[in-house]
């Protein structure tokens, strides 16, 4: 078994794949962890390459992510507007090439991630640590190995990313995550972190709560609510997390229609229950479904639902999920 690499050895191997005349594109699917980690890569390469650009594949809709970009003045561009001949080196961070069809056509120089290892791709430099709670924690280690103290903006981004990906350390994380988090604590702007965290809902989206309250049904400590058509599935997550705070409720099921798909959000205490298993049992044969013990999600093309269920209601949601409880 090969000896474990030190942070300085990893950093040097990463630096070694770049040259002064390189134009680097850091590729992400934008969320707090990937955005913050991409910023750290940009800082690590600042004086070592010709240019570094952050390119994101997805459309950024979640208000807290937009607030993060706006308040921290983060420069990033949508990948579809970037010309590929501008770059000769590519880094993918907080993801892997096979995670999205839009990533697969690129030959990456470096892959840095904390998700489970996948196969079918190659890169000159690979650092994947699935036991870490956040890629941002890994990037703090790189910066400390480089003896670079992050700016307030970068520290705030990394701090917020670790908070989000570990769910305030309620999800599985390593001591390494806690060490990085503690290091950033006195550098990050906590007021900005709170401002980003509180940027969740637009005024127009309050109507979805109105619908959820009108539609919700509670039975046997289970809360069900079908919200109808939504502009973004993120609002279903926010509503489900809100209902999860009700003391007498052990299970929360919130659904809505986005595009041509039914989206169902599952929440439970994760103690003796398993939301991921229930999601897979209920909707796995019809679409994509799964998740963790305490939180899960299903996305089902409407055409895959049985004919009577295509006119989806709270009653339908209750019937389908109760079958497997």
Give DSSP secondary structure letters for 177-233. Answer: HHHHHHHHHTTS-HHHHHHHHT----GGGHHHHHHHHHH-EEETTEEEEEEEE-S-T
Average pLDDT of span 257-286? 91
**Do 30 and 151 share a domain, yes or no?**
yes
**Do 239 and 141 share a domain, yes or no?**
no
Residue 1 lies in a domain: no
Q: pLDDT class for 288, splitting at 50, 70, 90?
A: confident
CATH for 277: 3.10.310.30
Structurally, the chain folds into a number of domains equal to 2
**Do 223 and 179 share a domain, yes or no?**
no
Q: How far is CA 195 from CA 71, 201, 211, in A?
A: 9, 12, 27
Average pLDDT of span 49-56? 97
**Do 128 and 162 share a domain, yes or no?**
yes
Write out the DSSP string of 106-131: ---SEEEE-SPP--S---SEEEE-TT
**Do 181 and 288 share a domain, yes or no?**
no
* pLDDT confidence of residue 1: 54
Quote the domain boundaries for residue 249.
Answer: 203-322
Smallest CA-to-CA distance from 282 within 274, 232, 120 is with 274
Q: Is pLDDT above 70 for 2?
A: no
Q: What is the largest CA-CA distance in the chain?
A: 64
Q: Is pLDDT above 60 for 173?
A: yes
**Do 104 and 220 share a domain, yes or no?**
no
| Max mean pLDDT range (105-109, 142-146, 281-285, 287-291) | 142-146
Q: How far is CA 163 from CA 38, 117, 149, 154, 290, in A?
A: 17, 23, 20, 14, 23
Q: Is pLDDT above 60 for 266?
A: yes
**Do 259 and 307 share a domain, yes or no?**
yes
Show which of 197, 228, 249 is a domain's final residue: 197
Write out pLDDT tens, residues 206-262. Answer: 999 999 999 999 999 999 999 999 988 889 999 999 999 999 899 999 999 999 999
The model carries a pTM of 0.76
Show which of 178, 197, 216 is a domain's final residue: 197
């Amino acid at each position: 078994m090969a000896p474990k690499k030190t942070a300085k050895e990893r950093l040097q191997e990463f630096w070694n794949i770049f040259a002064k005349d390189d134009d680097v594109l850091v590729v992400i699917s934008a969320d707090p962890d990937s955005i913050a980690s991409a910023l750290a890569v940009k800082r690590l390469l600042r004086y070592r390459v010709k240019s570094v650009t952050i390119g994101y594949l997805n459309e950024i809709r979640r208000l807290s992510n937009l607030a993060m970009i706006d308040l921290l003045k983060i420069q990033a561009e949508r990948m579809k507007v970037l010309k590929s001949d501008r770059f000769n080196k590519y880094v993918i961070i907080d993801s892997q090439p096979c995670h999205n069809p839009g990533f697969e056509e690129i030959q990456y120089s470096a892959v840095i991630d904390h998700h489970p290892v996948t196969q079918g791709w190659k890169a000159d430099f690979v650092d994947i640590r699935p036991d870490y709670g956040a890629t941002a924690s890994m990037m703090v280690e790189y910066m400390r190995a480089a003896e670079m103290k992050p700016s307030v903006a970068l520290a705030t981004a990394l701090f917020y990313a670790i908070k989000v990906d570990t769910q305030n350390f309620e999800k599985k994380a390593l001591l390494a995550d806690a060490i990085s988090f503690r290091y950033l604590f006195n550098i990050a702007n906590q007021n900005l972190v709170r401002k980003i965290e509180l940027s969740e809902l637009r005024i127009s989206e309050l109507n979805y709560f109105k619908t959820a309250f009108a539609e919700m049904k509670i039975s046997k400590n289970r809360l069900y609510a079908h919200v109808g058509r939504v502009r973004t599935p993120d609002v279903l997550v926010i509503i489900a997390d809100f209902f999860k705070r009700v003391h007498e409720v052990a299970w929360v099921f919130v659904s809505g229609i986005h595009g041509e798909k039914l989206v169902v959000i599952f929440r439970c205490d994760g103690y003796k229950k398993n939301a991921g298993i229930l999601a897979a049992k209920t909707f796995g044969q019809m679409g994509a479904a799964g998740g963790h013990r305490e939180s899960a999600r299903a996305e089902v093309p409407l055409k895959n639902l049985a004919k009577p269920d295509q006119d989806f209601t709270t009653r339908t949601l209750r019937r389908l999920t109760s079958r497997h409880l």
